[in-house]
Chains A and B, each alone.
Chain A
Amino acid sequence: MPPDPYPSGTDAPSTDFRFIAHYNFPPFFTLQPNPLTRSSQLETWSTHILSYCRHHRIFTLTLIDALSTPLFHNTILKKKLSLNDARTVLNWMASKEGGERIEWIGGKGGKESKCWVFWRRPEEWADAVGSWVEATGQKGVVFTLYELGQGEATRSQEFYGIDRELLHRSLQILVKKGKAQIFGQEDQLGIKFF
């Protein structure tokens, strides 16, 4: 068993997700008027969203749909983040300041409705796949993308079950670095590692 380059820590998918303390604090769901307080609030929201998505292995969010999920809606407190506030949070996460952990998909001018959630950035996924290939001595081996994302061999890896498009995008980073080559057609992409 190769060492996991990104140990998933305590967030094993089988256990219940443990919300951060702020999730039980009613004003957390109202963006704060004080800029200082708000900046710390945005950071906390970012942490919360990333750990939630990581736990539930969510790779993309559709804003409207997500608003009614526990991510943004605390049913016990009967508090939820409004559409506008949620957009503000996601926009902040998409910014340099927020670590570019969100990337809007399509749409422009504040109308974006769907986004990537990078609890690992594509570069980090690329590293994870690269290290796995190296650690298991499979350089020179050809994989299909399906094998990498859904295959038996990678079941123990964090990238098992990764969104296909995200995987493709991450692997292209390895290609650019000259560490791999992608070939084949749309549905049957293969990759060879050097």
Chain B
Amino acid sequence: MASSRRGVGLSAFSNAAINNAYTNHGSTLRAAHVESLQTQLSVFQQLLHQFSITHGKGIRSNPTFRAEFARMCNAIGVDPLASSHTSKEGGKGTGSNMWAQVLGGNVNDFYFEVAVRVVQLCRETRAENGGMIEVAEIRRRIQKGKSIGGGMEVSDDDIGRAVKSLEPLGSGFTVMNLGKKQMIRSIPKELNTDQSTVLEAIQVLGFVTVSMLLDNLNWEQARAMAVMDDLVADSLVWVDLQCDETEYWSPTFIHDSDQR
């Protein structure tokens, strides 16, 4: 009994010692871990930096390469666009500045250039399309490049990233999916469900009529008319009155004849 009491005492004592030892060992391990992680991280940063310098040209000029680079950065949680503006991204805080430094201005600059073109094109065509334009259309126009600097080799992916880089400005530029198409919305106005439904339906044939909406969506006349009137008022559709029934067309279908 006594021995067991002593045993309890002892074991309690030695347990504490062991616990202590464990704690010590644990913290040493953790410290070593942190240290090695830090080393890895700084090595990685250096490599990434080097990589972006060595391949800066490639990243700028080759859309496929650029997309891969962006994907790689994404996979490891680096936002190549992150700058001091986007400190909230991934909670990197001051780190975001670091990334911008690490990656150099080149990559950032590229996306900002694209973003500027996107904003220009959206503004130019706003009256025509109500501030909604297909990403692919923007890409075609940027590649044609009538403006300063001529055409740029860009992919839809680049444009998506460029638009994202505008987010901190609160400009209301967003990329949204409409059916199978990716659209850039440059007017910060929410579409209601009915409007989205109609715009999606339009993408199939290029146009809809009120009776098509009645037949396919089981809407009532008044509802369909109201939605169409709204869309016309927002310049999101064009009307064609030279038909048996008024056709409402999406300006995304303004294409060269060979693409129609």
Give bound CA distance, A41 to B243, whole Å.
19
Give bound CA distance, A37 to B249, whole Å.
12
Among the stretches B30-38, B49-57, B191-199, B233-241, the one at the interface with A is B233-241
A95 to chain B minimum Cβ distance, whole angstroms, is 17
Is the CB–CB distance between A40 and B253 below 8 Å?
no
Of the candidates A24, A30, A80, the one whose C-beta lies within 8 Å of that of B239 is A30
Of the candidates B238, B253, B260, the one whose C-beta lies within 8 Å of that of A37 is B238
A159 at the interface (CB under 8 A from B): no
Which residues of B are found within 8 Å of A37, using beta-carbon distances?
127-128, 130, 232, 235, 238
Which residues of A are found within 8 Å of B241, using beta-carbon distances?
30
Interface SS, A side: helix
Interface centre among B128, B238, B260 (most CB of A within 10 A): B238
A66 to chain B minimum Cβ distance, whole angstroms, is 18
Residues of A in contact (CB 8 Å), total 23
B215 at the interface (CB under 8 A from A): no
Give bound CA distance, A32 to B128, whole Å.
10
A184 at the interface (CB under 8 A from B): no
A34 at the interface (CB under 8 A from B): yes
Which residues of B are found within 8 Å of A3, using beta-carbon distances?
none
Is the CB–CB distance between A26 and B242 below 8 Å?
yes
**CB-CB under 8 A for A32 and B254, given A27-B247, A27-B249:** no
0/1 per residue, A11-28, Cβ < 8 Å to B?
000000001011111111
Is the CB–CB distance between A33 and B239 below 8 Å?
yes
0/1 per residue, A24-52, Cβ < 8 Å to B?
11111110111011011100100000000
Closest 9 CB pairs of A and B: A40-B127, A27-B238, A27-B240, A40-B128, A26-B240, A37-B235, A25-B254, A30-B241, A27-B249
Q: List 29 A-B contacts (CB under 8 A).
A: A19-B257, A23-B257, A24-B255, A24-B256, A24-B257, A25-B238, A25-B253, A26-B247, A26-B249, A27-B238, A27-B239, A28-B238, A28-B254, A29-B242, A30-B238, A30-B239, A30-B240, A33-B239, A34-B232, A34-B233, A36-B127, A36-B130, A37-B130, A37-B232, A37-B235, A41-B238, A44-B128, A79-B242, A80-B242
